[in-house]
Amino acid sequence: MQKIIAINAGSSSLKFKLFEMPEEKVIAKGLFDRIGLDEGKIKISYDNKESFEKKEHIENHSVAVKRLLDLLLNLDIIKSYAEIAGVGHRVVAGGEFFKKSVVVNTKVMRQINELAEYAPIHNPANLMGIKAFKKALPDAISVAVFDTSFHQTIPKTNFLFSVPYEWYHNYGVRRYGAHGTSHRYVANVAAQMMKKPLAELKIITCHLGAGASICAIKNSKSFDTSMGFTPLTGITMGTRSGDTDVAMISFMMQKLKMHSMPEIIYDLNKKSGLLGISGISSDMRDIEEKKKTSERAQLAEDIFVKDVVKYIGAYTAEMGGLDAIVFTAGIGENSAQIRKLVMRRLSYMGIMIDEERNNQRGKAEFVSTPNSKVDVLMIPTDEELMIARDVQVLASQNEDIHSKNYVV
Ligand code: ADP
C-alpha cells in the first residue's frame, strides 16, 4: 500500500489527486488557483465529505507545493511526507522524443524545457510543478506523463501534413495530438467492458470537453487523431475553430485591420467554435438551453454533431471497420442529447440507441442496445488515475529507478 499523487500544473494553478495504490482509492483532491496573483485560492476535499477552502496569497509553485504537503499533514490525510512514494506529472508536449511515460531525471527536465517551443504556456508550467515536488519530496519517484505520447504510434501517412516535407524534417511540424492520457484510459476501460482484448478492437474515442478531440484506436494503438500540431484543429470546440482554411487568415487580417498573427490566432482559439457560431456561449449546456429560441445556437449544435459524425465516418473508413465508439469528458459524459444526435446520424452503421441507459449519468455504461452492430459506451475519463497507474508501474520496475530512464 502506498500513496501516489497526480499533478496537473498550469501557469497559475496546480491541481492534484492523491491516491492510495494499488486500491486506486482517491483520498484527497484539490486545486491551488491564482498562484503568483494578488489573491490565491486553495480548495482541498478529502474523506469523501470534508473540505478545506481558503483564500491566501500563494507566491509561486514551490510555495504551493510546500503548503499542499503541510495541509495534507495538518488535515491528517498523511502522517508524514515519506508516505507519498510517487508523484506523476501531466506534461502537455512530449514531441517525438517521449513515446511513453518516463521517470524524471535532469535530462528529462532539460528535454521538457526544450519542447516548450511546441507548448509555450504549458510545458514551462508543468516543469515548475516537477521542480517544486522534486525539491519538497526528493525521495519520491517523479514521473512525467505526456498528453502526446499515446499518439506516437500514429503512422506517418496519418501524422504528416501535406506541406513541404522539410517543415517536418527540419522543424518537427506534424500532428502530435492531445488528450492522449484520456483516450488511452477510456479505450482500456471499453475493452474491459466489452470483455475483449484491446489489441483485437477498432475503437473511436470521442473526448468531448471544452477542448475536444477524436481518436481512432486500432490494435490498442492510436492510429489517427483530430488535433494536430496544436490543439486548434479537428472538431468544433467550445471556443476553438477546429479545422479551417488557413488562407482565410491573411484575408481576415486585412478586413479586421489586424497587424500580427497572434491577434487572429487568438480569435481562432478563443472566439470561435460554439461561442463564435452561436454568439451566446462556449458551454454546451447554454447552447442546448437556448437552441429553441436561437437559430445560431441550433446551428452551433448542428455543426458540433456533424463534425463528430464526420470524423467517426472518416476514421471508420481509415481503420477498415469499427467495433466501438466511446463518449467521454464534459459533453461526452453529461449530454445524453449530443450522444443521441450523433448515434441517430450513425444508424446507417447499424447503431441502435438504448434510450434508458443513454439517459443515465455518472457511471460507465453501454448506451447502445446489445444487438447494435457497433457498441457505444459512455465512460467517465480519469486522467489522474492513468497517471497514478503509470507511476506505479514505473516504480515497481526497479529500485534503482532514479538513475535510469524507464518507460511505461
Ligand atoms: P475541459 O477539461 O476541456 O476544460 P470538460 O471536460 O470539463 O472540459 O468539459 C467542460 C464542458 O462540458 C463544458 O464547457 C460544457 O460545454 C460541457 N458540459 C458539462 N456538463 C454538461 C451537461 N450536463 N450537458 C451538456 N454539456 C455539458
- Residue 275 in marked binding region: no
Question: Whose CA is closest to 179, among 334, 59, 330?
Answer: 330
Measured CA to CA, the distance from residue 126 to residue 290 in angstroms comes to 37
Query: Is the model's pLDDT at 8 over the cut of 50?
Result: yes
What is the structure's pLDDT at 402?
A: 45
**Residue 76 Cα, ligand 1 centroid: separation in angstroms?**
33
Q: Is 349 left (phi over 0), alpha (psi -120 to 50) or beta?
A: alpha
pLDDT tens, residue by residue, 123-147: 999 999 999 999 999 999 999 999 9
Looking at the predicted structure, is the pLDDT value of residue 48 above 90? Answer: no
The CB of 330 under 6 Å from ligand 1? The reply is yes
What local confidence, expressed as pLDDT, does residue 238 receive? 97
**Is 285 near ligand 1, meaning CB less than 6 Å away?**
yes
Ligand 1 centre to CA of 102 (Å) is 30
Work out the burial of residue 89: count CB atoms within 10 Å of its CB; fewer than 13 is exposed, 13-18 middle, 19 or more buried.
buried
Convert the pLDDT of each residue in 289-313 to its tens digit: 999 999 999 999 999 999 999 999 9
Is the per-residue pLDDT at 72 higher than 90? yes
Say yes or no to pLDDT of 256 above 90: yes
Cell numbers for 176, please give them: 502530435
- Verify whether ligand 1 is closer than 6 Å to residue 209 (CB atom): yes
- What are the structural domains of the chain? 2-146 (3.30.420.40), 195-383 (3.30.420.40)
* Mean pLDDT, range 159-176, rounded to an integer: 98
Residue with cell 510546500: 66
Q: How high is the pLDDT of residue 90?
A: 97
Question: How many A from CA of 400 to the centre of ligand 1?
Answer: 42
Retrieve residue 90's grid coordinates.
501531466
Chain centroid to CA 339 = 19
Residue 400 reports pLDDT greater than 60: no
Q: Which of 147, 224, 307, 375 is an active site residue?
A: 147
- 407 pLDDT above the threshold of 50: no
**Residue 34 CB neighbour total at 10 angstroms:** 16
For the cut 80, the answer to whether the pLDDT of residue 243 exceeds it is yes
At residue 137, the pLDDT reads: 95
Q: What is the mean pLDDT of the segment spanning 240-263?
A: 96
86, 408 contact by CB (below 8 A): no
Residue showing cell 522543424: 171
Write down the pLDDT at residue 49.
85
* Separation of CA 270 and ligand 1 centre (Å): 16
pLDDT at 403: 43
What is the Rg, in whole angstroms, of the alpha carbon atoms belonging to the chain?
Answer: 22
Q: Is 330 annotated as a binding residue?
A: yes
Instruction: Quote the pLDDT of residue 47.
Output: 85
Pinpoint the alpha helices (H) of 137-260: 156-159, 165-171, 180-194, 248-255
- Answer yes or no: is pLDDT of 406 > 50: no
Annotated ligand binding at 57? The verdict is no
Q: Could you tell me which residue, 359 or 38, shows the higher pLDDT?
A: 359
- Mean pLDDT of all residues in 257-284: 96
Residue 142: closest CA among 362, 405, 333 = 405
Q: How confident is the model at residue 236 (pLDDT cuts 50, 70, 90)?
A: very high
User: What's the mean pLDDT when you consider all of the chain?
Assistant: 95
Question: 208 in ligand 1 pocket by Cβ < 6 Å?
Answer: no
Best residue among 331, 341, 360, 383 to mutate for probing ligand 1's pocket (most ligand atoms within 8 Å of CB) is 331
Whether 390 is a known active-site residue: answer no
Q: Read off the pLDDT band of 399 (50, 70, 90).
A: low
250-259, 294-303, 368-377, 393-402: the lowest-pLDDT one: 393-402
Mean pLDDT of 309-321: 98
Q: Is 15 annotated as a binding residue?
A: yes
Residue 279 assigned as binding residue: no
Query: In whole angstroms, what is the distance from residue 54 CA to residue 191 CA?
Result: 42
CB of 284 sitting under 6 A from ligand 1: yes
The tens digit of pLDDT for each residue in 364-383 reads 999 999 999 999 999 999 99
Average pLDDT value for residue range 207-228: 98
Least confident of 123-132, 174-183, 391-400: 391-400
Report CA(330)–ligand 1 centroid distance (Å). 3
Name the residue of 335, 337, 342 whose CB sits within 8 Å of the most ligand 1 atoms, as the mutation to test its pocket: 335
Does pLDDT of 405 surpass 70? no
Q: Does residue 19 register a pLDDT over 80?
A: yes
